Structures are given as C-alpha cells and as structure tokens.
Amino acid sequence: MNTRRLFIKKAGGSVALATMNPALMLANPAQSSSRTGEDLFKLGIAGYSFVNFKLDQALDMMKKTDVHYLCIKDFHLPYNSTAEQISQFHETLKKADVTGYGVGPIYMKTNQEIDNAFDYARRVGVKLIVGVPNPEVLPYVEKKVKEYDMRYAIHIHGPDIKLWPNASSVIDAIKSLDPRMGLCFDMGHDTRFGDDATADLEKYAKRIFDIHLKNVTAASKEGKTCELSRGVIDIPAFVNMLRKVKYDGVCSLEYEKDMKDPLAGIAESIGYFKGVCDASRQGRRKA
C-alpha cells in the first residue's frame, strides 16, 4: 500500500511544496485548470465547509482553489427561495464557473419534510439530494425517488450519533429499495467509526452517489478533521480505488477544521488531492 511519504517522493517536488505551502497553489491556480475529468474526477466542495461565509465569499475561495462543483446548502439558498431567487443564485454560480450539483445534507423526520426537500431539489434543478432521513420514513423516501426520478444519498456521521454512523448501516437499510437510493460516503466519518474507507468504497461503489473527501487524525471517535494530506487515511490508495471502481460522481471536500478561516486548509487539501490524482494517472500509464 502506498504511503504518503512514498506518494510525495513519486509525485515530485512541486506537489510536496504545494502540500507544505498552500500559498504556492493559490498563486497559480491556472496550472490545474487544464486537467481532465479522468485526472481529477469531478472535484467539488460540500457547502457545509462554508457555513460561516456568504455565497460570494465561498465562491471566491472556490475560484482561488480552482474548484467548480458545489453541493448547495440552505444557508446559501433557503428552502423557501422563489423561482427568481433560484435563477439569480444559478447566475451567480455561472459567473464564478461553478455548478451546483446537489442539495443537502437535509434532515428529514416526517413525510412533510421529505415532500419539502424533493420539491426544493426540483425547483433548484438538481437530480441529487443528500439526506439524513429517519429509518421509519425510508419507504416514503423511496416513493418520492420514483416519483421525481431523483437520486437520494444518505449521509453518514460516524460514531457521534446513532443515526447512519457508517456505510454499512446505510447499505443494510436500503439494499432492497430502489437503486436510486444510496450513500453520501463521508470517508472521514466511516474511518472514525473504525471501518476501512477504501475497502468500503470498493464494496459499496454501486450505491455511492456522492463522496465527502475528508481525512481525520485518528480512526476513532476522537479523530478530528484535518488537511487531506495529514490524516490516517491513505489518500493515494483511495484514489486508486476510485479509478478501479470507475466512480463517476462528485468528490467534494468537506473541510471542518478552522471553519472561520479555512482557506489555507482547503487549498492544501485540494492541491494535495490534485497531486495524488496526477500521480495515480501517471502510474497507470507506466503500468
């Protein structure tokens, strides 16, 4: 299995420098703009990363780090937004070269909350809801998935709460339900629960519709979010598995460290992920 040290040695000095000094990556984001989807998959940011920032501030950080997909949260686009407000929101994203690809996470305990969430996603114009439903409402979620022809990805939260702590808890609940019901795979929380994120990616790939890129300081409840390059998850191995299972969804960084001043950590994490993808691609060409 590749280690972070071996990855940096293989990837070259420029990636190592970007990992140690995110300002270098910010200084010339155009270096990565020509990379293809095969290199980077669809790289995004989970909207919760920007909970302390207005939309224009969030988009500015995305521009500086050369990221173009956003999972939309309600603090940037409220659930009761009018058609005009939604249109203006998408126009603002378009000017920043950003696409809103999904909404959520949205907590859902009742049928009415499910109705509201699906109506919101339809009006926003996306085909993916990241949801956190109570188990007893899953049959009604399935009904709405069929009615709206929409993917529904259940977000996991690790050992902190009993509701959907890891990937297997979701898969066990939805394996007999509509195939458009699946998983928002938070690899950090899965690891904090004590599971192997890379193994789970391979095992559940067909039902993983969204990925929250995250690294953590420990494979336990005490683990905290950290820069993607600094935690216990083997990111090069995870990227290799993304290629193996031919993952075609969005990989969205969810950065929960220094949330009132996250730009440096986001930049380091994005730069590292791009470097890992480049090294993985080059490794495949040489194989």
d(CA 45, CA 212): 8
Domain that holds residue 163: 4-286
Of residues 172, 114, 100, the one with CA closest to residue 146: 114
**How large is the C-alpha radius of gyration of the chain?**
18
d(CA 50, CA 150): 25
Torsion sign across C-alpha atoms 114, 118, 124, 127: positive
d(CA 249, CA 37): 11
Task: Round to the nearest angstrom and report the end-to-end CA distance of the chain.
Answer: 16
Give me the number of domains the chain comprises: 1
What pLDDT does residue 39 have?
53
**Token pair recorded at residue 150:** 């929409």
Residue spans of alpha helices (H) in the chain = 4-11, 13-20, 22-27, 37-40, 55-65, 83-95, 111-124, 138-148, 167-174, 187-192, 197-204, 235-244, 263-286
Is the separation of the CB atoms in 211 and 190 below 8 Å? no
Neighbours of 108 (CB within 10 A): 25
Q: Calculate ∠ Cα 150-153-154, nearest 5°.
A: 140
What pLDDT does residue 219 have?
97
What's the CATH code of the domain at 22? 3.20.20.150
Write the CA distances from 66 to 22, 130, 241, integer angstroms: 13, 23, 24
d(CA 209, CA 254): 15
Instruction: Report whether the peptide linkage leading into residue 29 is cis, meaning its omega lies within 30 degrees of zero.
Output: no
What pLDDT does residue 285 have?
62
pLDDT in tens, the chain (287 residues): 444 444 444 343 334 434 444 333 333 333 333 344 445 689 999 999 999 999 999 999 999 999 999 999 999 999 999 999 999 999 999 999 999 999 999 999 999 999 999 999 999 999 999 999 999 999 999 999 999 999 999 999 999 989 999 999 999 999 999 999 999 999 999 999 999 999 999 999 999 999 999 999 999 999 999 999 999 999 999 999 999 999 999 999 999 999 999 999 999 999 999 999 988 887 666 65
What pLDDT does residue 281 have?
80
11 conformational bin, left if phi > 0, alpha if psi -120 to 50, beta if neither: alpha
Which residues make beta-bridge pairs with 71?
Answer: 46, 102
Q: What is the pTM of this model?
A: 0.86
Q: How do the residues of the chain divide into helix, strand and coil, expressed in percent and rounded to 5?
A: 50, 15, 30
Amino acid at 61: M
What pLDDT does residue 284 have?
67
